[in-house]
DNA sequence: AAGTACGTCAACCGCGATATA
DNA sequence: TTATATCGCGGTTGACGTACT
């Protein structure tokens, strides 16, 4: 018995959200909440979207008090520290950063912090530009470095 | 100016966990 | 207890913009 799909993937719209779709979803959730059922929500409000897609859009973009980009040095350190101690539990890490989403934190880690920790700068291979000084983030592990080493080893192996 | 490779980020996919009938 | 539906999460992808040759 296979797992039932959450929606008819052939008929729902995919890809970037239009401003009108955002507005419909935002207005509905603001007034009614999610009613605990994301799967049924798009049908209720006439959006031709998968329920999971609606949930993701709300959580990562439409929720009030969301902040995008502009990670501070303090947030950098916290992310690195938490990653060193608990690994890629992005939702847990994001919970420690008010206004940040797990997707944001994950993207930030994968595109900036991980690269920085591994010693890569922009265009490291093709252009061989001089790298900025690497921050010694791993030394900041609250666990004393053991977990940090493990996390780094995992990263380097993968 | 055109072409190419890389960086960023929104969104999708698939799976495990949990709830419910 | 089992089957099914839904939630929530982490990993991955792909479009687009930018830096560079």
Number of compact structural domains in chain A: 2
CA of A36 to C1' of B20 (A): 14
Task: List residues with CB under 7 Å of strand B.
Answer: A 3, 9, 13-17, 50, 52-53, 56-57, 60-61, 68-69, 103-104, 106-108, 110-112, 115, 120-126
Distances (CA, A) of A32 to A29, A45, A90, A105: 5, 11, 28, 28
| A56 within domain boundaries | yes
| A79 within domain boundaries | yes
**Distance between CA atoms of residues A97 and A2, nearest Å:** 38
Query: Of A62, A87, A119, which residue is a domain's last?
Result: A62
Residues A151 and A86 in one domain: yes
Strand B contact nucleotides, protein CB < 7 Å: 5-15
For residue range A90-135, list pLDDT tens digits in order. Answer: 999 999 999 999 999 999 998 888 777 766 544 443 433 333 333 3
Angle among Cα A154, A77, A100 to the nearest 5 degrees reads 95
Boundaries of domain holding A33: 19-62
| A46 within domain boundaries | yes
Residues A129 and A78 in one domain: yes
Residues A90 and A109 in one domain: yes
Min mean pLDDT across A102-111, A132-141, A146-155 is at A132-141
């Amino acid at each position: 018995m296979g797992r039932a799909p959450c929606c008819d993937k052939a008929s729902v719209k995919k890809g970037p959200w239009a401003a009108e779709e955002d507005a419909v979803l935002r207005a509905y959730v603001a007034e009614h909440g999610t009613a605990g059922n994301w799967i049924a929500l798009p049908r209720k409000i006439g959006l031709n979207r998968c329920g999971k897609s609606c949930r993701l859009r709300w959580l990562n973009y439409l929720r009030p008090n969301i902040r995008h980009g502009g990670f501070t040095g303090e947030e950098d350190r916290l992310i690195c520290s938490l990653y060193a101690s608990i690994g890629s539990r992005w939702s847990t890490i994001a919970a420690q950063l008010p206004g940040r989403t797990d997707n944001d934190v994950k993207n930030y880690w994968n595109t900036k912090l991980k690269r920085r920790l591994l010693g890569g700068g922009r265009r490291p291979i093709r252009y061989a530009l001089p790298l900025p000084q690497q921050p010694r983030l791993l030394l900041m592990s609250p666990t004393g470095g053991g977990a940090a080493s493990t996390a780094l080893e995992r990263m380097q192996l993968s």
